[in-house]
Amino acid sequence: MHPMLALTAPAALLLPLAAGVSLPVPAPETAGEEAASAPQSDAGQMGDTPLANPLDALRADQSADQIRIEQRVVIRITPAPPAARQNMLAELPQRAVPRRFEETRKEKCVPLDGIAGVQTGSGNRLVLFLRDRRMISVNLEKACRARDFYSGFYVEKSKDGRLCVDRDQLQSRTGVRCEVEAMRQLVEVSD
């Protein structure tokens, strides 16, 4: 089903209600002439009256005055598959493997669409790989473990489209939720 159709289908069903169009509701059958001439179904014999239209219940019930449609966007960040990591490394110029990284300036927010992948670190740290070739160290709250996020994480997209400190929570695929406490950029240090 087309995604736009899936979003508008519930609203389209309620258009007759919003326009003030009311369909006639059949009067209850009397035991007289209408009951004898109306065809009986198995459901009618059991005492159930099937609804021809599911909206008949809404039309009959006047308490359904408003409808709220909510939308959530959740983004999944995954580690890159091993083959893709090997390909990325093959494209880099051949040089000595860096020995050490240091955390430098603090980052307040990073754009979600700029995150290319994630890798678990030690303790409560994750390493984000950004599309602009930067690496960001993310400290989670103290009760969280980075190993819970070995297969990536989910984050609910905010209005500004960024992942920010002291605001956003990461959710692992197992359901663990952790708040981002600090982010720092990792820079290669040559000895």
pLDDT, tens only, 140-189: 998 899 989 888 899 988 899 999 999 999 998 888 999 999 999 988 88
Closest by alpha carbon to 16, among 50, 58, 52, 51? 58
pLDDT, tens only, 117-139: 898 888 899 999 998 988 999 99
Q: Please, which pLDDT band fits residue 75 given cuts at 50, 70 and 90?
A: confident
Q: How far apart are CA 166 and CA 181, in angstroms?
A: 6
What average pLDDT is seen over the chain?
Answer: 74
Q: Please, which pLDDT band fits residue 104 given cuts at 50, 70 and 90?
A: confident
Domain layout of the chain by residue ranges: 3-60, 74-189
Judge if pTM exceeds 0.85: no
pLDDT at 111 over 80: yes
Biggest alpha carbon distance in the chain? 100
